[in-house]
Every structure is written in structure tokens, then in C-alpha cells.
């Protein structure tokens, strides 16, 4: 577990009478990100199916780190200052989270950090700056910037002297370029 992403998570639900209430209120933390030393990721909330209400606010069961078609994930990513290299053999980083270990399978072997998923990612940069690398260009993101990552191959880097933190909502999609 990584305390770099410690955050309070309040979840609402419905009681037996159908009235809204706080179903849970807990502090969650992240895990080390496969392949990039010093970085961390937190899977805050996840669904594999369309939600149906009223519900009790219990955390839905999920199969994998990345969502299936129509599933969702809310994640937070922390990149330390000067995080410019991925390590090979990223699946060996020892993450206790099996879903996160499965996510490492999406990393390309010949282009460190590059990955493509069957998702549309809605990303908001909260702190610091970072660079998203695409096939033919790099884009610098600053605090408050929003990136819609449309199933393209990409990698994250932080060549700056301050850490970077962003939130991403991933929505499962069809992607003919992804296995």
C-alpha cells in the first residue's frame, strides 16, 4: 500500500426504508504502480455493470483493473518528481493487488510505459505537471487541464521537480486496436 494517495472515501446508499444515508466512510490508500518506481495508483471506485438503484452503497465486485464495456473506474495517479523512466519487467514489482498486477500486462514490451486500453479516460490534472506521450507527439498538462484519452496508446512521465497527481474516470469502450 502507498500512503502517497491516502484519501477519505464517503459512499452513500439507501437504507431498508429507501432513505439515503452514509453507507461507508473510510480512508483508502493506493498501491505502487507497476513499472514506474516511486509512483502510486489508487483504484477509488469501480463498477463492471450498469448501476441499479436503490442500492445499499456496497462496493461493487469487479474482475480486473480496467473496466469492461460499460464498466467504470475512478483512479488517482501520483507521479513523483523526475519520473522519466519505466523499468523493464514491471510485472515483478510485487504489487499485492492482483487487479493492478493484471494491468501491467497492457504495457508494451518494446516501448516502456506505453499502453493502450479498451477505455475512454476523462482525466483532470490536480497538482503539478506531467507529460503524456503519444505515438507521434508529447503533450504537457498543467494543473486544471483536462485530457480526454480516447483509447490511444500513451505513457505518462513527470520530468518536473514537483510531484504530479491526477484523477481519471475510465469508461469501458470498444477498441479495435486493443487485444
Could you read off the pLDDT of 92-141 as tens digits, one per residue? Answer: 444 446 666 677 777 778 888 889 999 999 999 999 999 999 999 999 99
Residues in the chain: 179
Element containing residue 32 per DSSP (H, E): strand 20-32
How buried is residue 106: exposed, middle or buried, by Cβ count under 10 Å (0-12/13-18/19+)? middle
**Following DSSP, what letter does each residue of 135-159 receive, concatenated?**
SS-EEEE-TT-EEEEES--BEEEB-
At residue 96, the pLDDT reads: 44
At residue 21, the pLDDT reads: 97
At residue 91, the pLDDT reads: 43
Distance separating alpha carbons of residues 170 and 122, to the nearest angstrom: 6
The grid cell for 137 is 507527439
Is the entire prediction scored with pTM above 0.95? Answer: no
Structural domains of the chain ordered from first start: 30-172 (2.60.120.10)
Amino acid at each position: 500500500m502507498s500512503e502517497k494517495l491516502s484519501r477519505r472515501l464517503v459512499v452513500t446508499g439507501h437504507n431498508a426504508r429507501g432513505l439515503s444515508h452514509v453507507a461507508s466512510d473510510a480512508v483508502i490508500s493506493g498501491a505502487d504502480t507497476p513499472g514506474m518506481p516511486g509512483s502510486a495508483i489508487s483504484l477509488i471506485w469501480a463498477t463492471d455493470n450498469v448501476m441499479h438503484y436503490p442500492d445499499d452503497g456496497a462496493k461493487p465486485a469487479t474482475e480486473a483493473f480496467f473496466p469492461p464495456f460499460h464498466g467504470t473506474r475512478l483512479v488517482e495517479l501520483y507521479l513523483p518528481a523526475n519520473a522519466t523512466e519505466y523499468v523493464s519487467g514491471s510485472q515483478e514489482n510485487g504489487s499485492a493487488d492482483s487487479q493492478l498486477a493484471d494491468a501491467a500486462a497492457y504495457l508494451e514490451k518494446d516501448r516502456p510505459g506505453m499502453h493502450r486500453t479498451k477505455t475512454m479516460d476523462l482525466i483532470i490534472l490536480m497538482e503539478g505537471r506531467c507529460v503524456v506521450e503519444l505515438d507521434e507527439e508529447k503533450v504537457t498538462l498543467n494543473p486544471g487541464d483536462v485530457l480526454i484519452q480516447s483509447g490511444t496508446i500513451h505513457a505518462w512521465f513527470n520530468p518536473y521537480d514537483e510531484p504530479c497527481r491526477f484523477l481519471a474516470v475510465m469508461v469501458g469502450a470498444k477498441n479495435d486496436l486493443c487485444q
